[in-house]
Homo-oligomer: A and B are copies of this chain.
């Protein structure tokens, strides 16, 4: 689900729009960070130790940032948005921890995530702990509608992850199915983060649904770009990790398109590396070449741009403000970071 690379980019001098938005809600974000660290404590030391590993790993709190921004841009004057933002980050962290769980089949192939230094079971249980803490924080906001949105999003995220699991190694996966997975596993939390913050502000349904649509479209754009970057030769040259999805034989859009557009002589390659998962060391280079040759990265980015534009269009419900401008620029930046 990524989230790191959106913040800074050598090509964009100075301050990124994400940093600008951070600055606009700086006091609230500082309060959110303090709350996160207070509430992840436990008498059972392993829990904060493991949680800290993810929570302090340099992720840029993009989801809680949306919550704070949506509340603030709606002129919310209370302090429940801080609890809500911490809850959103806890849900995100819990999904990351659970995403790290390794299957027996993966283990048999000798593939153990670096994050798994504590083992599967502690990751699951600490995720459960953070998930529970998220709901405790939400209860403190005294707002059942907000609870409903985030409980619903959590169910949808789990559905999306299961859908993705089932679609690995399957060249028959359609673009539509892929977009359903992305909507569920990534966009649902972006959307709920923005919507629930907006709801707190009490500005009414038009504002709430606008922020929901912004989060939803931004989340999809964000994931499309992430999936494109995983096959980016340029990213590889810059020393960033590529090929994670490839090694897991995940059916992301670049692969769906590259396979659909493949020359007959390249079809057996895709069949071998994706369907049988039988990969050798040079296969990633060939995959990147084929994905680029077929224009699949470009097409994926083209789609991402359309979702980013839809995110910006959804912001028309907001009165003009620095926060609105930063949110719009984040949508652009989300796509531009790839070039």
Of the candidates B105, B107, B136, the one whose C-beta lies within 8 Å of that of A104 is B107
Closest B residue to A163 by beta carbon equals: B44
Interface size counted on chain A using CB atoms at 8 A:
48
Is A162 touching B125 in the complex (CB atoms < 8 A)?
Answer: yes
| Cα of A310 to Cα of B132 in the assembled complex, Å | 29
Is B104 touching A165 in the complex (CB atoms < 8 A)?
Answer: no
Closest B residue to A143 by beta carbon equals: B144
Stretch at the interface among A18-26, A115-123, A263-271, A295-303: A115-123
Stretch at the interface among A150-158, A234-242, A254-262, A324-332: A150-158
Is B155 touching A132 in the complex (CB atoms < 8 A)?
Answer: yes
| Cα of A321 to Cα of B258 in the assembled complex, Å | 70
Q: Which 10 A-B pairs have the closest CB atoms?
A: A132-B155, A132-B154, A129-B158, A135-B151, A128-B158, A103-B119, A136-B151, A139-B148, A44-B159, A125-B161
With A101-B120, A120-B120, A128-B154 given, name 9 new contacts (CB 8 A): A46-B166, A104-B112, A104-B120, A128-B131, A131-B131, A132-B154, A132-B158, A135-B147, A136-B152
Interface residues of A, Cβ cutoff 8 Å to B: 42-44, 46-47, 94-95, 98, 101-105, 107, 112, 116, 119-122, 124-129, 131-133, 135-136, 139, 142, 144, 147-148, 151-152, 154-155, 157-159, 161-163, 165-166
